[in-house]
Amino acid sequence: MLYPLKFKPIYKDKIWGGTRLKTLYNKDFSPLPNCGESWELSGEKENLSVVENGFLAGNNISELTEIYMGELVGERVFEKFGKDFPLLVKLLDTRSYLSIQVHPDDIYGMENHNSQGKTEMWIVLDAQPGAEIITGFNRAVDKQTYLEHLESGRLKDILNVEITQPGDVFFIPAGRIHAIGANITLLEIQQASDVTYRVYDWNRKDDDGNYRELHTQRALEVLDFEKYDSYKTDYQLTDNLMTELVKCQYFTTRMMEFTLEREMDYSFLDSFVLYSCIEGNCMVNYTNGVEILQAGSIMLIPADIKNITLIPQGKCKVVETYIG
């Protein structure tokens, strides 16, 4: 009988990475000097998440999907993705700016990398005053204007820069130029793709004194040069109720801040459900037992578990994600 699954984080040191995942969420990423990314749930072939609780401990997500199929991920999800888990969930922590970058859509990704595209979203968990997020253009531009600004080092002048704070939500569809600024910790939910085109890297060198590779031509072929009226997701939480943040073809996410026991019914859903706890902790009761979900961790509710009860220990905030 399947049960709510927890996974061992996969830690990544990055040239821009910070150390706050240790102080905020007690992540032990030693011996790495920093932890820019903690992959909380990944089906990426070189980075398969491994279960850490219950009788399935030690098995990776690909093995489990191959064995349990629709019981784990949902019949429709398994029919589409097979044993490849369709989402990647990370915690990111930045000491300096990430590169300015863009991701391809499904068609371009499949044609050029045999990979699905990469649409993603961010939920800002911690940010120092003045921390910046880049997302999209601040004016409509054409390729020539874009290249002129890129080649002269003035790219940021035509980009939309948001001063961010905890609680901000940004949806980043494939094709949208973006970058995460310094001194930000966030939750990232994305398609299970690691294809990134680096547009500009602030003339930064790696530990060996080399500039990191840029992907100027690839980026040109996938960039969306339109200007949009708004780039930040507008939402308002209601105590003890789920609030929808993003609904797209790749995932639906909702958030809830709660102090009361909540019964969750997923009988309408043909998908797994992910719970990312971003504040406090709660008990997750299901038919055959109970699991604890703590801040900074993730839990996968298998598709064949249709009813759970969330019991917060004080105030708790969770992000719910599923396909559909």
CATH assignment at residue 51: 2.60.120.10
Active-site positions read 198
What distance in Å separates the CA atoms of residue 24 and residue 236, rounded to the nearest whole number? 24
Query: Do 76 and 202 reside in the same domain of the chain?
Result: yes
Query: Do 178 and 289 reside in the same domain of the chain?
Result: no
Cα dihedral sign, 198-200-202-204: positive
- Is the residue at 304 inside a domain? yes
Query: Do 253 and 149 reside in the same domain of the chain?
Result: no
- Is the residue at 173 inside a domain? yes
**pLDDT (0 to 100) of residue 210:** 85
SS3 content of the chain, % helix, strand, coil (to 5): 15, 40, 45
**pLDDT (0 to 100) of residue 9:** 98
What distance in Å separates the CA atoms of residue 93 and residue 186, rounded to the nearest whole number? 7
- Is the residue at 261 inside a domain? yes
Domain housing 172: 5-222
**pLDDT (0 to 100) of residue 107:** 96
Could you give the number of structural domains in the chain?
A: 2
**pLDDT (0 to 100) of residue 11:** 98
Task: Provide the token pair at 49.
Answer: 């998440």
- Is the residue at 160 inside a domain? yes
Query: Do 248 and 129 reside in the same domain of the chain?
Result: no
Query: Do 86 and 143 reside in the same domain of the chain?
Result: yes
- Is the residue at 84 inside a domain? yes
Q: Which of 187, 222, 257 is the last residue of a domain?
A: 222
Task: Provide the token pair at 119.
Answer: 């649409």
What distance in Å separates the CA atoms of residue 222 and residue 148, rounded to the nearest whole number? 18
Query: Do 121 and 248 reside in the same domain of the chain?
Result: no
Query: Do 131 and 67 reside in the same domain of the chain?
Result: yes
Query: Do 173 and 259 reside in the same domain of the chain?
Result: no
- Is the residue at 130 inside a domain? yes
**pLDDT (0 to 100) of residue 261:** 98
Dump the DSSP string for 159-173. Answer: EEEEE--TT-EEEE-
Whether 188 and 121 have beta carbons less than 8 Å apart is answered as yes
Query: Do 42 and 87 reside in the same domain of the chain?
Result: yes
**pLDDT (0 to 100) of residue 271:** 98
Strand partners, 263: 309
Residue 208: which residues within 8 A CB-CB, separation 6 or more?
none
**pLDDT (0 to 100) of residue 211:** 85
Whether 252 and 269 have beta carbons less than 8 Å apart is answered as no
- Is the residue at 313 inside a domain? yes
Query: Do 212 and 255 reside in the same domain of the chain?
Result: no
Query: Do 277 and 200 reside in the same domain of the chain?
Result: no
Residue 39: which residues within 8 A CB-CB, separation 6 or more?
9, 10, 11, 12, 47, 49, 88, 89, 90
Report pTM. 0.95
Q: pLDDT per position in the chain (324 positions), as tens?
A: 899 999 999 999 999 999 999 999 999 999 999 999 999 999 998 999 999 999 999 999 999 999 999 999 999 999 999 999 999 999 999 999 999 999 999 999 999 999 999 999 999 999 999 999 999 999 999 999 999 999 999 999 999 999 999 999 999 999 999 999 999 999 999 999 989 999 999 988 777 778 888 999 999 999 999 999 999 999 999 999 999 999 999 999 999 999 999 999 999 999 999 999 999 999 999 999 999 999 999 999 999 999 999 999 999 999 999 999
- Is the residue at 227 inside a domain? no
Whether 60 and 49 have beta carbons less than 8 Å apart is answered as yes
Query: Do 143 and 86 reside in the same domain of the chain?
Result: yes
